Amino acid sequence: MVIARASEAVDVDIHVFAEALKPEDRRVLAESSRPVVAVFNKADLAGFGGEGPVAAATARCRQLRDLTGVAVYPLAGLAALAAVDDTVVDEELLDALRVLTTDPADLGSTDRFAATDHRLPRAVRQRLLTRLDLFGIAHGVLALRGGADRAGLMVALRRASAVDGLLAGIGVAAAPARYRRLADGASDEQVAARMAAAIAVVRAAGMTVDDGITASAHLQRAITWQRYSRGPVSRLHRSCGADIARGSLRLWERAGGVAERLP
């Protein structure tokens, strides 16, 4: 089912599934009237061996993308939630993870982790499972054993959960809608906002936009994207090219606006 929207303006539908795409999942993806991003949740259970379950889930996501034409991203949901919400791992759980770095528990299964005798109280181990599951616990212990502090633990969980890849994918899918939603305007702030949104759109399409900050870089960028906007491109990209050129000319003017011979 669709469980989230990318923004209040409903730029993107986010469809979450686990294990496999069912016929009803494929129907939702095919019938969405907005850009849609699919999330392969519980990627930490996608199989072991090789480079690990998330790597296996990533390979499966590529196959599903080719099959459906929709961007599909893996996610280890509990680890991702802990990584983006620093209240999930409270001091009690952080201390428990630290204990596990020197006094390992049985991580072979959730039942064994919760039931096998250990100096951590069973209730604390159950909280760890509820907040992080075995996957998050294992990666948290590895990070702390390697010398990570709380911030380093969050970084490790973000990396392990693949949440940043998903967030980047949502940004790519939402870029055209954000661009279209910006109202026309001529103030420096409005021109800059449209330029930034236009750059996000063309970068999402795989193109490169120079980030130079000198007057000559701004002018060269303006010329490049003005030419692009006059080429055989879609209406959206024609508008984006014009906005990048317009914003670059504003920056060129603010940088001195002195004409010079371009290479």
- pLDDT of res. 145: 96
- CA–centroid distance for 158 within its chain: 10
- pLDDT of res. 259: 60
- CA–centroid distance for 252 within its chain: 33
Average of per-residue pLDDT across 202-207: 92
> Tens digit of pLDDT for each residue in 223-262?
999 999 999 999 999 999 999 999 999 999 888 876 655 5
> Tens digit of pLDDT for each residue in 46-86?
877 678 899 999 999 999 999 999 999 999 999 999 999 98
| pLDDT over threshold 50, residue 1 | no
- pLDDT of res. 20: 87
- pLDDT of res. 207: 94
Kindly state the tokens that stand for 221.
């960028």
- pLDDT of res. 176: 86
pLDDT band (50, 70, 90) for residue 7: very low
- pLDDT of res. 183: 61
CA neighbor of 142 nearest in space, from 166, 117, 159: 159
| pLDDT over threshold 70, residue 185 | no
- pLDDT of res. 244: 95
Kindly state the tokens that stand for 191.
């021109």
> Tens digit of pLDDT for each residue in 87-138?
999 999 999 999 999 999 999 999 999 999 999 999 999 999 999 999 999 9
Average of per-residue pLDDT across 193-199: 93
| pLDDT over threshold 80, residue 182 | no
- pLDDT of res. 2: 39
Burial 226-252 (b: 16+ CB within 10 A, else e): bebbeeeeeeebebbbbbbbbbbbbbb
